[in-house]
């Protein structure tokens, strides 16, 4: 078997066109969607991620501001800034880029963002809504993975899905999302220190978010499985996913070894932003 590529570039472009259409409609009604990002200190990877987010905003008609604060910014000053941004009705989405410098308490900073403007879907209120199965802003990478699997018609209901990685940005929220009513996957959440990874051998879908190159090999999966690499690493200057090269010869679907789901994550960030703007407009601000 030679796996079908789960390349997400076309789907991400389609989602951005959907965002652009909704932005046009908001602007026609006099509402200009706006994203604010906050970066503390110099961090080359974060700067590159943020540059792509702002480029996407510009491409679809979303206004945006990139705030860059001094590396020594105090917790109190950052909390003050977030409080001011939270109450500014012209700002519909607010994202504090992680990781933050060590002297800052990231959990407290994430929790200070107004949940209605938390377009990352990282706030405990939004994660709690995900756990409850009620409406809220979904974390962008899990939402992008679900979107990709559904768009490529990978069956999930009643299927065994193994998620590798238990982080609060991808693995754990993804487990909550895929096991929700209506999606109904049989989810098994494992991680890089799991004692027994044998569940992978019978999984219909394997999603790896551990960030270890070649963590999932052909010998671990069943023929025809759908295999998604979310974690990325840099090896010899090249970006590689968690999925080894030999998986493509055995899987039914596989994400490209040198690709990333970054474009899907950014598309869902802007879908969240446009939904937050529509919700604010409905409330009259």
Q: In the complex, what is the shortest distance from the CB of residue 267 to ligand GUN, in angstroms, rounded to a whole number?
A: 12
- Tokens representing 27? 């602007």
The residue range among 11-19, 94-102, 202-210, 219-227 that interacts with ligand GUN, by the rule CB under 6 A, is 94-102
Nearer to ligand GUN, 67 or 218 (CB): 67
- For residues 254 and 6, the answer to whether their CB atoms sit within 8 Å is yes
Q: In the complex, what is the shortest distance from the CB of residue 284 to ligand GUN, in angstroms, rounded to a whole number?
A: 28
Torsion of CA 263, 16, 109, 98, to 10 degrees: 20
State yes or no: residue 120 binds ligand GUN (CB under 6 A).
Answer: yes
Nearer to ligand GUN, 120 or 147 (CB): 120
Q: Using CB under 6 A as the criterion, what x/- string covers residues 254-273 for binding ligand GUN?
A: -----------x--------
State yes or no: residue 111 binds ligand GUN (CB under 6 A).
Answer: no
- Tokens representing 87? 């109450």
Q: What gap in Å lies between CA 274 and CA 45, rounded to an integer?
A: 25
Nearer to ligand GUN, 250 or 266 (CB): 266
Q: Using CB under 6 A as the criterion, what x/- string covers residues 132-171 for binding ligand GUN?
A: --------x-------------------------------
- For residues 144 and 266, the answer to whether their CB atoms sit within 8 Å is no
Q: Using CB under 6 A as the criterion, what x/- string covers residues 211-230 for binding ligand GUN?
A: --------------------
- Residue showing tokens 């494992």: 190
Nearer to ligand GUN, 257 or 266 (CB): 266
Candidates 111, 107, 62; CA nearest to 83 is: 111
Q: Which of 39, 94, 95, 228 binds ligand GUN (CB under 6 A)?
A: 95
Q: Tell me the three-class secondary structure of 8-74, residue by residue.
A: CHHHHHHHHHHHHHHHHHHHHCCCCCEEEEEEECCCHHHHHHHHHHHHHHHHHCCEEEEEEECCCCC
Query: What is the CB neighbour count within 10 angstroms for residue 6?
Result: 24
Count of residues that interact with ligand GUN, criterion CB under 6 A: 8
Distances 139 to 64, 76, 109, 123, 127 between C-alpha atoms, Å: 20, 26, 17, 9, 8
- For residues 54 and 270, the answer to whether their CB atoms sit within 8 Å is no
Q: Which of 66, 67, 98, 125 binds ligand GUN (CB under 6 A)?
A: 98
State yes or no: residue 66 binds ligand GUN (CB under 6 A).
Answer: no
83: Cα separation from own chain's centroid: 24
Q: In the complex, what is the shortest distance from the CB of residue 32 to ligand GUN, in angstroms, rounded to a whole number?
A: 22
Q: Which of 97, 126, 255, 277 binds ligand GUN (CB under 6 A)?
A: 97
The residue range among 58-66, 89-97, 151-159, 160-168 that interacts with ligand GUN, by the rule CB under 6 A, is 89-97
Interface residues with ligand GUN (CB under 6 A) are 49, 95-98, 120, 140, 265
């Amino acid at each position: 078997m030679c796996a079908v590529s789960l390349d997400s570039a076309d789907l991400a472009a389609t989602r951005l066109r959907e965002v652009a259409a909704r932005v046009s409609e908001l602007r026609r009604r006099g509402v200009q969607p706006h994203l604010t990002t906050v970066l503390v200190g110099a961090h080359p990877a974060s700067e590159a991620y943020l540059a792509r987010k702002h480029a996407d905003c510009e491409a679809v008609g979303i206004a945006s501001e990139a705030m860059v604060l001094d590396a020594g910014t105090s917790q109190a000053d950052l909390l003050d800034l977030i409080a001011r941004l939270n109450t500014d009705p012209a700002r519909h989405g607010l994202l504090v880029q992680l990781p933050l410098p060590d002297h800052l308490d990231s959990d407290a900073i994430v929790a200070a963002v107004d949940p209605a403007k938390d377009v990352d879907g990282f706030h405990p209120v939004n994660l709690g809504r995900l756990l409850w199965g009620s409406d809220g802003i979904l974390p962008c990478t899990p939402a992008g993975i679900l979107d990709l699997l559904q768009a490529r018609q990978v069956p999930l209901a009643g299927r065994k899905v193994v998620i590798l990685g238990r982080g609060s940005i991808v693995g754990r929220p993804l487990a909550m999302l895929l096991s929700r009513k209506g999606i109904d996957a049989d989810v098994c959440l494992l991680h890089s220190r799991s004692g027994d990874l044998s569940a992978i051998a019978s999984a219909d879908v394997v999603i790896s978010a551990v960030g270890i190159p070649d963590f999932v090999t052909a010998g671990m999966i069943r023929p025809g499985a759908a295999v998604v690499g979310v974690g990325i690493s840099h090896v010899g200057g090249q970006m590689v996913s968690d999925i080894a090269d030999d998986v493509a010869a055995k899987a039914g679907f596989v994400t490209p070894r040198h690709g990333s789901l970054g474009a899907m994550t950014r598309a869902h960030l802007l879908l969240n932003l446009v939904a937050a703007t529509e919700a604010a407009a409905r409330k009259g601000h």
